[in-house]
Structure 1
């Protein structure tokens, strides 16, 4: 049995909605367009110097001009208004960036503390001679010969102790 075709409106009844960019273009004011062309390059340079990235500056200036356009009919000093909008956008961007960095740093500190705790726990679980060999070689910075003297063993034994200890630490941390 053939499936029924879904109900379709005649083509004359179909209305195509304009895309967002078409709405902005049709809503543009020739005075605003001229203002944009004249002032955007300087504002992009200013924003670039503030945020340190031309690509980000272009985005921020574009966003600021969208806000300026929304209030264009009531703006009495367009250059000052646009400059303030761009500077505010840059400040907001930098504030967000600082907060993101702080958040990442806090997370990194937490991870580092957790990793340090895991490492100390794994180190404490090693047999005493392996633990001593690792601490003397890597924490105290002794040579293999100096470590051997401190542990009263042959340098080859230090290498073997360190090798086994590192393998155990690797296994413990990967778990």
Structure 2
């Protein structure tokens, strides 16, 4: 099975089957049939790509419903620490943090359902990240949580003194004050 549970409902790690030989490697980074066979039926409508240098910390971001996004995140070059927080009211994992290293080398991907705040830090000299979204970007529905909220205690894998954070991300609310419209559905 190419999907590994994370201990948080609906949050999955996707490990594609990699075929390698003396020429290099090949793998399907996404196949609707593979996902569908596991009961995951998502229609992705937008791909995003970002390149960053060591210490860049992006997040924690989300879009409110009805513009919420499911994301399939992978690293094309370098290494990142990908971090999510479950914001779904009623979820057994509400407020829980999950992190995983995604790299060009390990080829792991994180499937983040709607209702999670998402961010990442760059662990390597540079990193190129690509992620698929099942909804279009909508500026008026942007939301987020302060990356260094002490209540969440996130270890970003870099010294926060080295973190390069946007001005917008520095003023996001604490988890306790975040407003969202996400509800866990079994």
TM-score (norm 2): 0.17
Structure showing greater relative contact order (alpha-carbon pairs closer than 8 Å, 6 or more residues apart): 2
Is the radius of gyration larger for structure 1 or structure 2? 1
- Higher share in helix: 1
- Higher share in strand: 2
